[in-house]
Structure 1
Amino acid sequence: MENVSLNPEFPNSSCKGLGSYSLRRNEWTNFTIPGPIPNFYIAVPIIYSVICAVGLTGNTAVIYVILKAPKMKTVTNVFILNLAIADELFTLVLPINIADYLLLQWPFGEFMCKLIISIDQYNTFSSIYFLTVMSIDRYLVVVATVKSKKMSYRTYRAAKIVSLCVWTFVTIIILPFTVFGKIHNDWGRLQCVFVFPDPESLWWKASRIYTLIMGFAIPVSTICILYTMMLCKLRSMHLNINAKALDKAKKKVTLMVLIILAVCLFCWTPYHLSTIVALTTDIQQTPLIIGISYFITSLSYANSCLNPFLYAFLDDSFRKSFRKLVECRTAP
């Protein structure tokens, strides 16, 4: 365990760095504060509450529109729907994380501990893997357009099967975290954290490397390769074969997927970079370092409430469908 006792002397000053799992599971929030309360201790629950409220509202709207509006039944929107469901699940349980933070201990029992850890890890892995699938889909669309071929296999039903496979794959990935998620009695306070067997430091490093590789390096590398190949094909099509470019709708969808990906990387890259720092550097626990760690965690949480606004700004079909559904519900 790497629990922090936050007082003026900072007695637990040998910290392994900006944690990855420890941040997401609040292992740094075991405060004992005889002196002035740090500003971030007050700010963090406010930020989390805003993320929760905005995320629930936005993702609920996305799920509702995609399920109810006939025009939204597209392959890309199946993946966006699953992305919104993953974000919705996380924002639904965020109040429990806020309560854990404010109470300075875990009062909800071991079953809830494992459940919250599982949902937290679903949020960590599912977003990037659904974006990977969306990138593969965009690449296949571009290739088919360049070669003037029809994609008979690219159907709404096939997209639902692929989404189910992604959920199954992510479930397998997060199983170790569910197993290691336990209640730990830390000086009389119950904490919901990862309890690793001996040698604990080795398991600690292995868990961070595992998340870094499976949750960032592999999917992001795949996405970068796909988009590089896609841009090369588009450039080749424009310069060499003098064919028509992708139509306006396909360009917009590709742009939307790219921007969603960029926002996801913006929110999650500091989180995964902190893993590298944690593995390679010994950082002293200071208020500044702990404040930075909470900022990184909040940034990763914020990704769960940003995507709905991207759909609203970038997708005309979504805006029109949302407007139409609202008008139908408010009509006498």
Structure 2
Amino acid sequence: STLFNYQFLLHPEFYVVLPIIYSVICAVGLTGNTAVIYVILKAPKMKTVTNMFILNLAIADDLFTLVLPISIAELLLRYWPFGEVLCKVILSIDHYNIFSSIYFLTVMSVDRYLVVLATVRSKRMPFRTYRAARTVSLCVWLLVILIVMPFTVFAGVYTSPEHMGRKTCVLSFPYPESLWFKASRIYTLILGFAIPVSTICILYTMMLYKLRNMRLNSNAKALDKAKKKVTVMVFIVLAVCLFCWTPFHLSTIVALNTDLRMTPFLIGVSYFITSLSYANSCLNPFLYAFLDDSFRKAFRKMLECRPA
């Protein structure tokens, strides 16, 4: 959220546009994800393995949108007034947002693959329980916390001598800073994109191959209607996540391989890419409501006006 901070100071119009964009993402994301959390926890029929992963995805998105107002305040005030501890918390949650979504979607893809595999082989999966999904979700959270820990260590308040002692919340790397910066981008690219996305692509390729062979060798349907709908929903949620996050990671590849001079256009593109990645946190609830009947019914029931 603090990319190109000093160049950004030269363009005051960003101080108006970005807070508006972030405020919309915050309001929509907080409302939608809180509704998803409420529906899953409140409705007994919603306690399924897939919904346990969706619940954790919504919690991760909600956590991010909850702290977004602090980033908005920093933009409006044009400096960081909240101290060192909160700086570490905010930048850590900012990085949780990078890793948590894709890792929960990877787990959901593994789950979909196992469901398809069991269906193709006409086998039951006694180990696939709501309790097991809860344990797996906890393991994902611990893994993400471990991955994000280096960013928590390097997060800090930087006082700029060039801008009258203006304080900003940034990743403060030791000397040589450029080498550490490149290492952090490669680290994020590999762990936050290359490994999980490759895993997901392999899983979906194998899944489609098995379904295709099933159709060739049997008249029976590879998946019943409900399982097929859930698989399609997971695939679309994944596609939207990749649409929002791929430009962010592609910009990393560009930053590592070129030495571009920062221009107003490039600064604008950088913030557009960041805003697009942030927007992913508010899109998923709409996808669930549009693609899943049980979510749609639960949302509708929640919005019903009941007489006092």
* Alpha-carbon distance between aligned partners in 2 of 1:31 and 1:263, rounded to the nearest angstrom: 29
TM-score, with structure 1 as normaliser: 0.89
Q: How many residues align?
A: 305
* 1:217 alignment partner in structure 2: 194
1:236 counterpart residue number? 213
Aligned counterpart, 2:76:
102
Structure 1 residues 192, 241: closer, same or farther in 2, change over 3 A? same
Letter in 2 for 1:311: Y
> Which of 44, 48, 64 is the aligned partner of 2:22?
48
Structure 1 residues not aligned, in runs of 5+ = 1-23
Q: What amino acid does structure 2 have at the position aligned with 1:70?
A: P
Partner residue, 1:324: 301
Aligned to 2:234, which of 223, 248, 257? 257
Q: Hey, which of these two has a bigger chunk of helix by percent?
A: 2
Residue equivalent to 1:21: none
The one-character-per-residue Cα deviations of 1:290-312 (angstroms, maximum 9, x if unpaired) are 00001000000000000000000
Q: How far apart, in 2, do the equivalents of 1:196 and 1:32 lie?
A: 21
Structure 1 residues 32, 177: closer, same or farther in 2, change over 3 A?
Answer: closer
Q: How does 1:191-230 map to 2 (within 5 A)?
A: 191-230=168-207
Change (3 A) 1:242 1:74: same
How far apart are residue 163 of structure 1 and its match? 0.1
Residue type matched to 1:54 in 2? Answer: V
Match among 245, 251, 261 for residue 274 of structure 1: 251
Query: Equivalent residues in 2 for 1:1-332 (5 A)?
Result: 24-28=1-5, 31-33=8-10, 39-187=13-161, 188-327=165-304, 330-332=306-308
**Cα displacement string for residues 212-239 of structure 1 (whole angstroms, at most 9, x for unaligned residues):** 0000000000000000000000000001
The 1:52/1:88 distance shift into structure 2, 3 A limit, reads same
**How far has the Cα of 1:241 moved from its partner?**
2.9
Query: What TM-score, normalized by structure 2, do the two folds share?
Result: 0.96
- Shift in Å at residue 330 of structure 1? 2.6
Classify 1:212/1:235 alpha carbon distance in 2 versus 1 (closer, same or farther; 3 Å).
Answer: same
Preserved contact between residue 159 and residue 168 of structure 2 (Cα < 8 Å): yes
SS of match in other structure, 1:330: coil
User: RMSD of the alignment, in Å?
Assistant: 1.3
Tell me the CA shift for residue 30 of structure 1.
Answer: 5.9
Q: Secondary structure at the match of 1:283?
A: coil
Amino acid at match of 2:200: I
Give the Cα separation in 1 of the matches to 2:293 and 2:8. Answer: 47
Contact 2:8–2:267 (CA<8 Å) still a contact in 1? Answer: no
Between stretches 153-162 and 281-290, larger displacement belongs to 281-290
d(CA) in 1 for partners of 2:56 and 2:136?
A: 11
CA contact (8 A) 1:30 1:104 kept: no
Query: Which structure 2 segments of 5+ residues have no match?
Result: none
Aligned equivalents of 1:287 and 1:27: distance in 2? 11
Please say if residues 102 and 192 of structure 2, whose CA atoms lie closer than 8 Å, have aligned partners that are also in contact: yes
Distance in 1 (CA, whole Å) between partners of 2:297 and 2:206 is 33
**Alpha-carbon distance, 1:28 to partner:** 2.5
Kindly indicate whether structure 1 or structure 2 has the higher relative contact order, using CA contacts under 8 Å at least 6 residues apart. Answer: 1
Preserved contact between residue 38 and residue 287 of structure 1 (Cα < 8 Å):
no
SS of the aligned residue for 1:284 comes to: coil
How far did 1:244 drift?
Answer: 2.4
Q: Structure 1 residues 137-146 or 243-252, which shifts more?
A: 243-252
Distance 1:46 1:326 in 2: 27
Report if the CA contact (8 A) 1:181-1:193 is conserved.
yes
Per-residue deviation, 1:319: 1.0
